[in-house]
Structure 1
Amino acid sequence: MFKKIKFQFIALSFLILSSAAVQAQCAMCRAALGGESNVAQAQAVNDGIVYLMAIPYILVGGIGYAVYRLYKKKKTT
């Protein structure tokens, strides 16, 4: 039991501490926003893409946690 919790803690710590800046642009967006004059606009597009990419993962994680909690609750009763 404690080994499993310890592994999960170490894995979560590694994922949090190893985060880096993400550059998420498709080739067409990079070509359209390339150049010195569009730096702020390109950064805004990057942030929007990362935001849109993160939402499905958060939703799936939340649904998975809810299912897990319901399964554990049903198993104890």
Structure 2
Amino acid sequence: MRTGVKYLLAFLLMLVLTLPQVMAQCAMCRATIENNVSNGDTTVGAGLNLGILYLFLAPYLLLSIIGFFWYKKARRKKKLTY
């Protein structure tokens, strides 16, 4: 139990320490998009939006696949016990 708490605290500490770098990247992307849009190029913004959607979907897809296989294994295991 104590090792779980240590891992959780280490994870939270790393999350808090990397937050400024993450926020800096957002500002850089926004500045690039604003500069391109002011010059009349809107393709970069569309590509960035597609990339955001891709990054948003990937973890949910991975968890869904893991959940599906977990469900199948539990169902098969339950069938074997009866």
Q: TM-score, normalised by structure 2?
A: 0.54
Q: How many equivalent pairs are there?
A: 52
- In terms of fraction of residues, the more helix-rich structure is 2
Runs of 4+, deviation exceeding 3 Å: none
* Larger Rg, first or second structure (1 or 2): 2
Residue 31 of structure 2 corresponds to 31
Which runs of 5 or more residues in structure 2 are unaligned? 1-24
Residue 63 (structure 1) aligned with residue 66 (structure 2): yes
Which runs of 5 or more residues in structure 1 are unaligned? 1-25
- What is the aligned-residue RMSD (CA, Å)? 1.7
Q: Which has the higher contact order (CA 8 A, sep 6+)?
A: 1
C-alpha distance in structure 1 between counterparts of 2:77 and 2:46, whole Å? 47
